[in-house]
Amino acid sequence: LGMTHFKIPSGELLSTPYLRAIAAYNRPTLLSTGMATLEEVRYGVETLLQAGLEQANLTLLHCTSAYPTPADAVNLRAMETLAHTFALPVGLSDHTEGMTAAIMALALGAEVIEKHFTLDRSLPGPDHAASLEPAALTEFVTALRQAETMLGDGIKRPAEAEMDTRAVARRRIVAARPIAKGQVIAAEDLTLRRAPKGWFGDRWDRVIGAAAPRDFAVGEGIEW
């Protein structure tokens, strides 16, 4: 069939011949871990790797095999346990209703999200009730892409979108009363206000005790 990727369902986690057959292809493989203990997951992982699947081609999916999965059975932190234990990429095979679990999983480091799809959730069968219909799936993917964007790069710095606010929201050092050139500046000579010019308040202690390089009028920003 020319399959480029494989997904091993939770029910086959301990199926030794099946795992070995998949591993022989050494193609990107998703291993679902529903209903499993950590040691059972270890068996599945080791069987695949020993049978020839390269570690770079294996991703573990945390999963709860209940359709739909109630909130108190999701246990998203187990996904982190899988990542730490096996040093492998992880994701979520999501059988909950809605999109909350998937978005939270993304925030916890999921690299793959699986969500079931159906044309009609009222159809008979165990999966349909936990699946998304076309319009809901579109909304789901849009929400995940937005969540990915919101995660950012982790570097703490002012966002471009807040630079205009930064310029006006932070208080600056201004003269509380007239300051003459050469005058040693005291705390009583200064105040903090939202102003277009002047140093931010983190220079307060550097200004106190300094000689004014020029005259400053009341309300004028202090900087030189």
Residue 3 zone, left/alpha/beta (φ > 0; ψ -120 to 50; rest) = beta
C-alpha 48: how far from its chain's center? 29
pLDDT at residue 1, rounded to an integer: 84
* Domain range list for the chain: 6-151, 160-221
> pLDDT tens digits for 20-48?
999 999 999 999 999 999 999 999 999 99
The CATH class that applies to domain 6-151 reads alpha beta
Distance CA 222, CA 85 (A): 56
Give the residue ranges of DSSP H helices in the chain.
16-23, 38-50, 77-86, 100-107, 134-151, 163-169, 204-207
pLDDT-derived band at 126 (thresholds 50, 70, 90) equals confident
* pLDDT of the residue at 191: 99
Residue 205 reports pLDDT greater than 90? yes
| Residues 198-218, mean pLDDT to the nearest whole number | 98
CATH of 160-221, one of 3.30.70.580, 3.40.605.10, 3.90.1210.10, 1.10.10.10: 3.90.1210.10
Answer whether 97's CB lies under 8 Å from 48's CB: no
pLDDT tens digits, 58-92: 999 999 999 999 999 999 999 999 999 999 999 99
At 66 the pLDDT is 96
- Each residue of 130-167: pLDDT tens digit? 899 999 999 999 999 999 999 999 999 999 999 999 98
- Could you tell me what percent of the chain has a pLDDT over 70? 100
Taking 90 as the threshold, does the pLDDT of residue 129 lie above it? no
pLDDT tens profile 189-201: 999 999 999 999 9
Whether 160-221 and 6-151 are alike in CATH topology: the answer is no
Q: What was the pLDDT predicted at 39?
A: 99
Which pLDDT score, from 0 to 100, does residue 113 have? 98
Cα→Cα distances 96→41, 66, 107, 173, 185, Å: 22, 8, 17, 54, 64
Task: Report which of 151, 114, 121 is spatially closest to residue 136, judged by C-alpha positions.
Answer: 121
